[in-house]
């Protein structure tokens, strides 16, 4: 029979792969590595070593055999807190020496030495204890900001460590030094337990920075800051109209000032706190105007309303309301009649309302942009309104009016006066 060359090659490859796999399997299983005991092996052994060692210190131990035999291999396994390590030493007479360098005792905790010959075994546990605390001892505060209301509290924690990074032994004293927001200093002492030391810090009623330092033995470190922040102001704080220095705006606006806003314990509220001014105007409408505290104060401009009279303003800060402030908007007077025209285009149902020319102080036009509130009312059943900005004393708007409204009135109110015009919608 004639066998083709490719077939031979394929068969060869198969056999080769099979053999290779067999060799790999044998190596993995450890075929051939029999552990025959050397002649004259001993029957028992013990390990001599100190009961404890300071973390990071080298350790010497001795394996002592029951009979004196030279050059017996002793397999030593060191099982530390995080990793095992093995070494083989050989006996010289009765003993074999084991040396663990500093790297092997870095982690505090139990260290188990296990020594074995082929027929004997022995072990010994050694305690690796942490050393003294070293700098830095870093206090951590949380939360870092609490309200200075005498109720909230924070916790400061340190985890003192030795030079190997181990937490110092439980029971180690930690001295706390605190400088409170009011400038006074105080100390306290706690002990390490559960791998840390902590101290509760209750809030005081003075807002500011509390600085905390921790000392463990001779080791110290940086400070940590705890901020006690002001709470909400109490209702009824005062707000005022700005009168000095006299500030006049071209549109007649007035500035309301919220100054030196303090919480219930007299702490000045922080900058950036939002202040809302709620203004109830004479016509029954409401305004909300916003501002933020800057250098403890804020000024909010209030423009004249559509109708002369008295507006009542309240500041609202974090839900706390100020005492009311009355703002008087004087009437422009009887002579300040604003001309109003109303022209209806019945075909499309649109009334064009013209305002002006409006005369203000000195008989001149009011500043451009002065608002004119336009309200069109037809009987009691229908009304619509809009606001226009006057330009060169005049303004115009177009309002859609439903057909059949009958007699209607367009009233216009501006800071410089008011007026009205009537029109009829068939």
Q: Which residues bind another protein (CB under 8 A)?
A: 140, 142-145, 147, 222, 224, 227, 229-232, 249-251, 253, 269-276, 278, 284-294, 298, 301, 303, 306, 314, 316-319, 321, 347-348, 350, 367-371, 373, 381-383, 385-391, 395-396, 398, 400
104 versus 293: smaller Cβ distance to another protein = 293
- The C-alpha atoms of residue 403 and residue 426 are separated, in whole angstroms, by 6
Closest CA to 98 of 111, 113, 109: 113
- The C-alpha atoms of residue 211 and residue 182 are separated, in whole angstroms, by 11
Tokens read off for 256: 């309301």
User: What is the DSSP secondary-structure string of 110-131?
Assistant: EEEEEEE-SS-EEEEEEEEE--
User: What is the DSSP secondary-structure string of 261-299?
Assistant: -B-TTSPBPPTT-EEEEEEE-TTS-EEEEEEE-BTTBEE
Closest CA to 49 of 99, 88, 91: 99
74 versus 254: smaller Cβ distance to another protein = 254
Least distance to another protein, CB of residue 337, Å: 22
- The radius of gyration of the chain from alpha carbons, rounded to an integer in Å, stands at 46
Least distance to another protein, CB of residue 223, Å: 10
Least distance to another protein, CB of residue 235, Å: 9
Least distance to another protein, CB of residue 239, Å: 15
56 versus 366: smaller Cβ distance to another protein = 366
Least distance to another protein, CB of residue 304, Å: 10
Closest CA to 318 of 234, 254, 380: 234
89 versus 360: smaller Cβ distance to another protein = 360
286 versus 334: smaller Cβ distance to another protein = 286
For residue 109, what are the β-bridge partners?
128
7 versus 347: smaller Cβ distance to another protein = 347
At which residue do the structure tokens 């005498």 appear? 150
Cα 423 versus chain centre, distance: 62
Least distance to another protein, CB of residue 109, Å: 26
């Amino acid at each position: 029979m004639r066998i083709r060359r490719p077939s031979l090659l394929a068969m060869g490859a198969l056999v080769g792969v099979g053999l290779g796999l067999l060799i790999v399997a044998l190596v993995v299983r450890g075929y051939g590595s029999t552990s025959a005991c050397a002649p004259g092996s001993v029957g028992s052994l013990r390990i001599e070593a100190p009961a404890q060692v300071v973390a990071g210190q080298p350790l010497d131990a001795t394996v002592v055999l029951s009979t004196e035999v030279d050059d017996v291999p002793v397999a030593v396994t060191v099982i530390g807190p995080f990793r095992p390590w093995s070494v083989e030493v050989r006996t010289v007479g009765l003993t074999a020496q084991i040396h663990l360098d500093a790297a092997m005792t870095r982690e505090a905790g139990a260290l188990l030495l296990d020594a074995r010959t082929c027929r004997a075994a022995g072990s010994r546990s050694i305690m690796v204890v942490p050393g003294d605390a070293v700098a830095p001892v870093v206090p951590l505060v949380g939360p870092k900001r609490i309200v200075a209301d005498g109720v909230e509290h924070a916790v400061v924690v340190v985890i003192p460590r030795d030079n190997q990074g181990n937490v110092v032994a439980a029971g180690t004293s930690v001295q706390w030094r605190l400088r409170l927001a009011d400038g006074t200093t105080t100390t306290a002492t706690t002990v390490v337990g559960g791998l840390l030391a902590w101290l509760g810090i209750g809030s005081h009623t003075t807002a500011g920075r509390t600085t905390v330092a921790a000392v463990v033995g001779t080791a110290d470190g940086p400070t940590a800051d705890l901020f006690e922040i002001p709470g909400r102001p109490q209702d009824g704080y005062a707000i005022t109209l700005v009168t000095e220095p006299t500030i006049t705006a071209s549109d007649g606006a007035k500035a309301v000032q919220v100054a030196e806003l303090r919480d219930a314990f007299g702490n000045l509220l922080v900058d950036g706190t939002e202040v809302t001014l709620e203004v109830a105007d004479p016509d029954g409408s409401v305004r909300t105007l916003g501002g933020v505290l800057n250098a403890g104060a804020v000024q909010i401009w209030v423009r004249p309303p559509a109708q002369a009279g008295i507006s009542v303003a309240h500041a609202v800060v974090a839900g706390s309301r100020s005492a009311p402030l009355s703002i008087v908007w004087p009437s422009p007077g009887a002579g300040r009649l604003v001309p109003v025209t109303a022209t209806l285009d019945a075909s499309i149902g649109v009334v064009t309302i013209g305002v002006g020319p409006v005369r203000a102080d000195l008989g001149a036009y009011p500043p451009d942009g002065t608002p004119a509130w336009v309200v069109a009312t037809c009987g009691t059943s229908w009304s619509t309104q809009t606001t226009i900005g006057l330009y060169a004393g005049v303004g115009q708007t177009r309002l859609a009016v439903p057909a059949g409204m009958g007699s209607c009135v367009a009233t216009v109110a501006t800071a410089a006066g008011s007026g009205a015009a009537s029109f009829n919608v068939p």
